Amino acid sequence: MKAKLYTIKDVHADDDKIKKASNIIQNGGLVIFPTETVYGLGADAFNPVASEKIYSAKGRPSDNPLILHISDLDMLNKIVKNVPEKANKLINQFWPGPLTIIFEKKDIVSDKITGGLNTVAVRMPSNPIALSFIRNANTPIAAPSANISGKPSITRWEDAVEEMGNRVDAILLSEPSEIGLESTIIDLTQDVPMILRVGKISKTEIEKAIGFTEIDKTIFGEKDIPKAPGMKYKHYSPNAEVFIASKENFVEKVKQKYKASPSCNTVIFTMNQNKSYFKDEKVYLLGETTLQAAKFFFHFLRKADKEGYDTIIMEDISFDEIGEAVMNRARKSAGNKYL
């Protein structure tokens, strides 16, 4: 194991360990750290050599830009050309929190970490450990999700250690990610604000703050090239083959597919409310609400691989609250295959 492991139980009591991790960033190293969405794999955004190491550690295509994580607005002003009025409104309402905003970038931000774009994605996370880690590093931290490119995002430290332990310099071990899905991304560099990735903060909430907002249509279809470069790649894929079971005749369809699977090595992801329908089948329960489902979805994809399942059937859950974002990730992991 290459990575130093630092267990963080309390942001104050474990301050010395957070500072050690921040030092590694200042010295050009890679550190995996918890955020409220998913675990991130960070490097000093102002150190091009360090930031480029992120791409090789993850096996990430170099045209896929990174999100810069900040702990205060001084950092924002160092990296963006201007903060439009609508951005100010969103910042006041949603930062720190699970919202990434795209701005026009200053030259100080290297083209290498924006995939050649003249814009930059920025987020101020609300997780206190993340904030303290960035503050101590005293530099914006460029960080994608901590998984190997194409794999499900990482929401538990155990998965970070197993998948990335030999690829990074340190890992901060903390609680499972509170939300469990990546941030909502909004682009404010166009005339009309555009949501590029759906997440916990919904279009309705955003529109309450800044008015009419569009949603990148490619989020729900696979026809055109998405505007967030990273959304076009194969994504969130476990080893098992994933199918979505649409709502119509849900139980019947699932049972048929379950029986038809040759090795019968299939697991069903379903909401607790449907538990009683599947007494003879293997199920992972996603919880009572879509917020709980969000917290478990990526973890369950990884768990199914560990337990040796070759097929996953995911219920088409309700679009309430964060449900739409869960289904966006689920469809990608299924390559849009429906039962």
Stretch that binds ligand TXA, among 9-17, 65-73, 211-219, 239-247 (CB under 6 A): 65-73
Is 182:37 a contact under the CB 8 Å cutoff?
A: yes
Among residues 29, 65, 140, 238, the one that binds ligand TXA under rule CB under 6 A: 65
Query: Could you tell me the two tokens for 300?
Result: 């369950």
Instruction: Output the smallest distance, CB 116 to ligand TXA, in A.
Output: 10
Q: Tokens 């909401």 map to which residue?
A: 271
Instruction: Output the smallest distance, CB 235 to Mg ion, in A.
Output: 7
Query: Could you tell me the two tokens for 321?
Result: 């609250």
**What string of DSSP letters covers 40-61?**
EEEEETT-HHHHHHHHHHHT--
Stretch that binds ligand TXA, among 18-26, 72-80, 112-120, 329-337 (CB under 6 A): 112-120
Q: Which is nearer to Mg ion, 148 or 339 (CB)?
A: 148
Stretch that binds ligand TXA, among 3-11, 72-80, 113-121, 276-284 (CB under 6 A): 113-121
Among residues 145, 189, 290, 328, the one that binds Mg ion under rule CB under 5 A: 145
176 lies in the binding site for ligand TXA (CB under 6 A): no
State how far the Cα of 152 lies from the Cα of 39, in Å rounded to an integer.
11
Residues 21-40 that bind ligand TXA (CB under 6 A): 35, 37-38, 40
Closest CA to 97 of 122, 77, 115, 117: 122
155 lies in the binding site for Mg ion (CB under 5 A): no
Helix (H) or strand (E) holding 91: helix 85-94
Among residues 26, 64, 218, 318, the one that binds ligand TXA under rule CB under 6 A: 64
231 lies in the binding site for ligand TXA (CB under 6 A): yes
165 lies in the binding site for ligand TXA (CB under 6 A): no
Q: Which residues are annotated as a binding site?
A: 37, 60, 64, 69, 119, 123, 143, 145, 153, 183, 197, 236
Name residues whose C-beta falls within 8 Å of residue 92's C-beta, 6 or more positions apart in sequence: none
Instruction: List the Cα angle 18/19/20 in 5-degree steps.
Output: 90
Name residues whose C-beta falls within 8 Å of residue 75's C-beta, 6 or more positions apart in sequence: 134, 139, 140
Residue 204, classified by CB atoms within 10 Å of its CB into exposed (0-12), middle (13-18) or buried (19+), is: exposed
Q: By rule CB under 5 A, what count of residues binds Mg ion?
A: 1
Instruction: Output the smallest distance, CB 144 to Mg ion, in A.
Output: 5
Closest CA to 254 of 235, 236, 280, 273: 280
Among residues 71, 132, 174, 183, the one that binds ligand TXA under rule CB under 6 A: 183
Q: Tokens 């973890």 map to which residue?
A: 299
Which positions touch ligand TXA (CB under 6 A)?
35, 37-38, 40, 64-67, 100, 102, 114, 117, 119-121, 123, 143-145, 182-183, 185, 196, 228-231
